Structure 1
Amino acid sequence: MALLGKGALLNWGGVLPNHDLDYNLWHSLEHMPERMSLKGFLRAFRCVGLKGTNDNDKYFMMYDVKNKDILSSKQYLNKLNNPTDWTSKILSKYVYPSRAICEVIKTKSLTTGLSGFFVTIIYLAKSNEIKKFYNISDEIMSKNGIFSIHCFQSDKEISQLKTKEKVIRSYQGNEDEIIDYAVVIECLNINKVKMFLLNNLKIKSDKKIKINYYQLQHIIELS
């Protein structure tokens, strides 16, 4: 999956028990179409966690945008400060939200097609480890069933702008998690990528790094 722009909005989080169906319907039928109607939004998709993913990060959502300034624009902030009734209801059920407005710092794709599996690596503090992903060869990617590697740096100031949606997301007692960097890997086989991260790059989850595993649920892209 090649990226479509120079910026992205990355979201992770969970919802209260027994609210998953409503959450997924809302995100597919209202929220993604609403966001995709805004100028500068190029693609939106949602994934659900597989075995090994923390329940607090059960869902991963990503929006490709022309550049990160789209995500601090007047039109977008107007949406954030005027949520629909359905949006307000769903966001009030969020647990452990993580939201990062990012610029793309490195990206590499072997195909324009889309795979169904994703691995995300969240860096909760500054780390040079992200540079391990910068120069992985096509041969090594292919050997490990990796189609794409995307590296992002979070703009903390824009990410933490106080909006009505941000306030509603905190109703369960958790403010948006702050991240420094993120890596999104698109792949064919989750277990093979797990082994690649551990054995080749020596990267594993700890207090400052979170690794999660996802399957694609729904995608909307500009035609």
Structure 2
Amino acid sequence: MALTGSAFLALFHDIDPASWTEYMEWHTREHMPERLSIPGFTVGKRLINHALPRYRYGTVYGGETAEVFRSPAYLERLNNPTDWSNKVQPTFRNFLRVACERLVSSGVGDGGAMATVRLDFLDGAGEADVRAKAEQLSRTLLGVTGACCAHIGLARREISGVKTKETELRPKMSEKEFDAIVLVEGSGLPELIASAGDIEAAIADSGCGVGSPATIVYNLAYQLTAADMAAGETA
């Protein structure tokens, strides 16, 4: 369960098809190592589903606290993009980035795929409903076929909504945000796709007060941890 810390940053986006290969190289060789060198970042997971017409790519960064995602060190990088970032960032499309408070995680290990379920509060419901039922929901999700870990978070849009130089590099976008999110790690893409209905049913039956699930299942394309970065520095 490498999604450590009390927060995570969830990103969804597309890339101009002509830049798919360069995006992958930039993200693996420069961008993710840069992010994981920032104090408070714990892990990065790049996600991909080649079959999707929208939100082909996803990334989840773990953070020690939600404040990591607007810390001076992070904002310094966002406001001083590298030459390679200046080239790649304008190729982003349909960009959605939301900081989240991690309420609970259950399970052990890391899955080879991840189901992401973006959720909205139901009428009359709110954060208190999610907090009250999150622990039980996470345990229920572990019983879904193919699941090995489950993470539940609440959106902290006031943290991730800060405008920076990197924001200016991406074409103007207005993606629908979410109130809560469920992440289920599992054995593989086909297994979690087959279980997507069971994941959504567990959420609906949980009493968490969230609905309108927007579910995407991804393969894990690359993972890097702060420990990996530290080990590289001392090697």
| 1:97 Cα offset (Å) | 0.4
Deviations along 1:65-90, one digit per CA (max 9) or x if unpaired, are 11011111111111111111211221
Give unmatched runs, 5+ long, in structure 1.
Answer: none
Correspondent of 2:121 among 126, 131, 138: 126
- Shift of the 156–199 alpha-carbon distance from structure 1 to 2, 3 Å rule, reads closer
Deviations along 1:99-135, one digit per CA (max 9) or x if unpaired, are 01111122211x1x21111100112x32459847641
Deviations along 1:144-200, one digit per CA (max 9) or x if unpaired, are 22111111111111111111111212x2x4235422211111012223322313555
Tell me the TM-score normalised to structure 2 length: 0.81
8 Å Cα contact 1:48-1:58 kept in structure 2:
yes
8 Å Cα contact 2:40-2:65 kept in structure 1:
yes
Residue aligning to 1:62:
60
1-side partners of 2:4 and 2:37: how far apart?
16
| 1:209 Cα offset (Å) | 3.2
8 Å Cα contact 1:40-1:67 kept in structure 2:
yes
8 Å Cα contact 2:196-2:215 kept in structure 1:
no
Deviating runs (4+, > 2 A) in structure 1? 125-134, 136-143, 175-179, 197-203
1-side partners of 2:75 and 2:202: how far apart?
42
2-side partners of 1:47 and 1:137: how far apart?
21
| 1:139 Cα offset (Å) | 7.3
1:197 is aligned to 2:192:
no
Residue aligning to 1:91:
89
- Shift of the 134–86 alpha-carbon distance from structure 1 to 2, 3 Å rule, reads same
2-side partners of 1:85 and 1:176: how far apart?
26
8 Å Cα contact 1:119-1:184 kept in structure 2:
yes
- Shift of the 72–191 alpha-carbon distance from structure 1 to 2, 3 Å rule, reads closer
Give unmatched runs, 5+ long, in structure 2.
Answer: 206-210, 228-235
Residue aligning to 2:26:
26
2-side partners of 1:183 and 1:151: how far apart?
5
Residue aligning to 1:153:
154
Tell me the TM-score normalised to structure 1 length: 0.85
| 1:39 Cα offset (Å) | 0.8
Please provide the CA RMSD for this pair: 2.4
2-side partners of 1:137 and 1:161: how far apart?
30
8 Å Cα contact 2:90-2:169 kept in structure 1:
yes
